[in-house]
Amino acid sequence: MWLNNVLETIGNTPIIRLNKISEGIPGTILAKVDYFNPGNSIKDRMALKMVEVAEAEGKLKPGGTIIECTSGNTGMGLALAAVVKGYKCIFTTTDKQSKEKMDILRAVGAEVIVCPTNVAPEDPASYYSVARKLASEIPNSYFFNQYDNLANRQAHYETTGPEIWRQTEGKITHLVCTAGTGGTITGTAKYLKEQNPTIQVWAIDPIGSLLTHYFQTGEVDMAYVKPYIAEGFGEDFVPANYDMSVIDHFEQVADKEGALMTRRLAKEEGLFCGYSAGSCFQGLTQLKDKLKPTDVVVCIFHDHGSRYVGKVYNDDWMRSKGFID
């Protein structure tokens, strides 16, 4: 039977065994490959959920404008929902995001406003602040704020977690996931730990992000925040979607190692993934001594490599960052 619209294709993405790149890592190593969603990323799940909740609560009305600060993937999910449901979209993003991400958002009808990366979240020029200002000025608009919008993690509690539990037949022992807004890792982990509290949840964070230090100490110390190149994960503040009690360990990954591993996933497994997938798997390799041969590990690969052809998959860009000779 046919589907009524593209939104009905969101979710139920495959879990795929990693065979070559996982040699030397104990256990069965699997990837939940969420670039099979229609917007090519896991963020389609929470974008649709946030829209549905906003509609149900009367915050998003017919003909309204969706406003969000996004590194690209959430914007794509929201834009697809907007196309089907008849909303306008205005997105703020940062100047470190790939040109491909911005072009893709414009292709599906969104307006994109580019803001500086290396400013504090509360700075009037930050992409958070600009989004809030637009929402206060534009009639019949709603700022979704994926960072503090709990529909984000609820989407993964309702879909990603149950899918992983079902697809592994309840055998999963470890979840490995990059940490950004906190929605994916918190929602998925919460569901999985309710099924089996012994499941280990490992969060992968870029060096320069605030989150690892906050997890370890409970302190927000901006001295630990440094610029980093990796896209789509890591934060310079702690979003409300986090529940650190469902996370067992934070592991930091260097930009270079994450980028090189992203390329290896494409060449060795045929998985043309985004930057965060390589960082996720690199984090797992750094933790392999904690694994046993009987373990079943699921890594979440968030998005598609098409977003990064001008960066991670471009030799000139890689050389410019000192990642390859």
Identify the pLDDT of residue 97. 82
Instruction: In whole angstroms, give the CA distance from residue 37 to residue 40.
Output: 5
Instruction: In whole angstroms, give the CA distance from residue 140 to residue 226.
Output: 37
Instruction: Report the pLDDT averaged over residues 245-254.
Output: 98
Q: Is the pLDDT of residue 71 over 80?
A: no
Going by C-alpha positions, the residue among 310, 190, 170, 204 that lies closest to residue 246 is 190
CATH classification for the domain delimited by 43-143, as one of 3.30.830.10, 3.40.50.1100, 3.30.1370.10, 3.40.50.300: 3.40.50.1100
Neighbours of 106 (CB within 10 A): 12
Identify the pLDDT of residue 96. 83
Instruction: Flag whether the pTM goes above 0.85.
Output: yes
- Annotated catalytic residues are 43
CATH classification for the domain delimited by 6-38+150-320, as one of 3.40.1440.10, 3.20.20.10, 3.40.50.1100, 3.40.50.20: 3.40.50.1100
Identify the pLDDT of residue 267. 98
Instruction: In whole angstroms, give the CA distance from residue 114 to residue 182.
Output: 23
Identify the pLDDT of residue 98. 80
pLDDT digits (tens, 9 = 90+) for 140-156: 999 999 999 999 999 99
SS (H, E, C) 178-227: ECCCCHHHHHHHHHHHHHCCCCEEEEEEECCCCHHHHHHHCCCCHHHCCC
pLDDT digits (tens, 9 = 90+) for 105-118: 999 999 999 999 88
Q: Is the pLDDT of residue 162 over 90?
A: yes
Fold agreement between 6-38+150-320 and 43-143: yes
pLDDT digits (tens, 9 = 90+) for 4-26: 999 999 999 999 999 999 999 99
